[in-house]
Amino acid sequence: MSGMRLGVDVLGAGELDRLLTRPWFRRYTYADAELAIADTFGASRSREFLAGRFAAKEAVLKALGTGVAAGIRPRQVGILRADNAAPVVELTGAASARADAIGASDIAVSISHKADYVVAVAIITANGSTTSGGAHALARATVEQISARGAGNERTRSRDG
């Protein structure tokens, strides 16, 4: 792989409401650390947080070129938090092996919420790529542009945490 790979996902938060009440779905989809963070929030913020993580996982899987396939479980794409609450991608198992196979050196993710929708952008840069330092800024700028389209008088809220 050379250059960059892009993945984008848009989700209506309500799409997950029934599934989030099912323990099997939570275990299959989210890493323990993601669930631990979500458990520190109230119900509404937890729903928003988990929807954002789901969209980010989908975006990363698209950038990896697999979608939810090739033996990669969503929980193998952890969307954790840096000290500044920005999302940080942690790959395990088959997801990590896929990243190694395509020569990925950096994965940047940005998540934005607007009304009851969430959009996530993932950018993967290759080993030796001169663009890897700007991947995080590019992901954030891309998600902000997507969120701003059709905003009208609504305020766009970008939250990475």
SS3 (DSSP) at 33: helix
* 103 and 136 Cβ atoms separated by less than 8 Å: no
For residue 111, which of 64, 56, 57 has the smallest C-alpha distance?
56
* 150 and 143 Cβ atoms separated by less than 8 Å: no
**Residues 6+ positions from 150 with CB-CB distance below 8 Å:** none
Tokens encoding 82: 């840096």
The rounded distance, in Å, linking the Cα atoms of 119 and 156 is 11
The rounded distance, in Å, linking the Cα atoms of 52 and 64 is 18
Would you say 9 is a known binding-site residue? Answer: yes
Binding site per annotation, positions for Mg(2+): 9, 58
Binding site per annotation, positions: 9, 58
